[in-house]
Structure 1
């Protein structure tokens, strides 16, 4: 027998003792019973007046008074018992009303089933989650709300839980639980189950909540971590590749030119020592000037690959136009630029230049395209970059679906995210690839 929950009502009149509340009425009932019995006793005495010689004659009033007293006490006791029962019933009704209110307003779905796992209680949140009304759900098997492949396991789990005698238990600690809506769609849940005894049987109450948003957030976080790890690995690899490229440029280009210049100087020194004529010396000096000019051009080209001077001197649009022309000359890709001449902060200009550079590099590596277009414009306070090619397009979904992961695209997404922007990819087989990047032109104090 469960202990009665204390009432939440603090009204003084309701908390007053039943004995104090009914004392005046009890006294009135008792006195009335005593007086009634005494009156009846005197009436009886008048009837038997002629039997004065009876021994019990004088005791009739005493017996009447005693009988009245006992009757009065009995009536008082019965009255108090009835009032106590009524108070208890009222408290039980109030407690049930409070419990029903809690169940109705609960943000968790609450389902109670009997020992045969048939639904007895189905609260409004359960109606919302499963798209069944309570009237339709009550009487159904609990398995109707669980995917078919899990029903046998779940029924066995509930049966074994009933045998253990444990009052409550968290469900789904070993695997993710899934529930079934009326339309057949599944969704992840977390749940706990409790059991109580009821008239020789058992009632099981399941409290559950939909964890779809949390699962999505966890999956997105997991994907972000994987992408971050890949991006970090890609950055390290790209850094090493860049170091290797610069070292190769310095060795194969600058090193060779400087070696040739050193040899020319040695030959010039020998010719001067031999007293060679001035015309021959001038020819050698002219050749050395040519080597020096080529070396300076090579140094400028290496510096421009690292960071184009146009970006600092003329701004974002001229630098991107130079980049498009450079890709056309190097790789034979026809790149056109459609841009509004818009001044932006250096941070935004550098990000836009690197995004276009990486996007065009992806076109060269993956698209098998002959033409690409770079569009730069504005959407309110946002700067909009669009790079579109006429290549083969993506035959797989992007990295978000786990089919293909492009480190270049990951880098572009990360640059846009750091600027408070977003990236949109549009592609279909044979229809080219379109990359749209938007971020605020003014960055304020954004880190």
Structure 2
């Protein structure tokens, strides 16, 4: 059975009686006890034996306990060893001075032995627990997939993990003491180190920060910097993650998305061209045939209707059917390709708003502002379809009593706004449901290098605004 090693306690006191007493008390409690009669010997033993706890008498000739503690805390090897002061002075000033120097506790004489043992046990447990946590932290840091770099407020590197060596190409020995800006010239931690008013646990996170390897090659990284309070003072932990592959994947994804948008835009343009062709054929060919048929029926009615009442009624019914067919042809052609677009976007939108108001008995006001610009047909069709889809959504869901469509021309952009006073909707819920109508409108806007913004809330209506740049449209003509 493996037994845990005895905790080592160093007693520093110039009085042999006190040393004898401590040996008996601490030894019987299961501690391994070391002794030093003055401060210099105590410092030497502490460096060589590295005890788990130091009981330090304050009043000693030569180097007193305060001076010994100060030296211990300045030494890299001994600064973490907990120190308990033993003193006959029980004033607040003496006690607070001991804590300021880094003491873990302060016990006044005469010493109550049960209290001493309890304090020793407590601080040994805390020390062991802290060492255990530090070990766990070192293990986590060492085997983490990201680079960990611990630096002081001046940016000098104190500690790194294996991944930092692999990522930057330096050894630990080379990195120790190096300025962190040699690795990342725009180190985000400077903002924390230079601003003392910040919260002590504030975190700075930046993405795409340029970093430099030992061989001079560069790579982008996500860097999180957070302050840490340690026995060495305030340090800054930087977690560095190489995002080169992620950025390549994001770039490929953006390129793929752009290709899909371009493909969708070309497909939409072909569909609009086909609709235009079919609309022309339906309107011109079928419309002309129906018009000629109606003229013939009118002629037939004039010649023979007075001679045969039954024939007259039959011809009248046929004319009614032909009129309905002509109206149907116009509707089909208009849905495929708005006839008003041949007269320009302004005329077509004005007609669309009038038809909406007439059909659904909801006032639909159309406004324009700015210097009107003639747009290419493909742009006009996109804007027309966006208004068409917006009005369709209003009739289905909005329960509006008023609609305003506004077309605003500026020197650099065109803004199309469709606003209603209806019931509105929850934007977050709509995005989760993946509304294809809104998505289609947004994609139409993006195809013209524009954007679509939606403002809506339940009970407060909806506003859809599409902004299309004009500076990249060489075909425009200002009136």
TM-score, reference length from structure 2: 0.42
Task: Give the helix-richer structure, 1 or 2.
Answer: 1
Task: Give the strand-richer structure, 1 or 2.
Answer: 2
TM-score, reference length from structure 1: 0.44
Which of the two has higher C-alpha Rg? 1
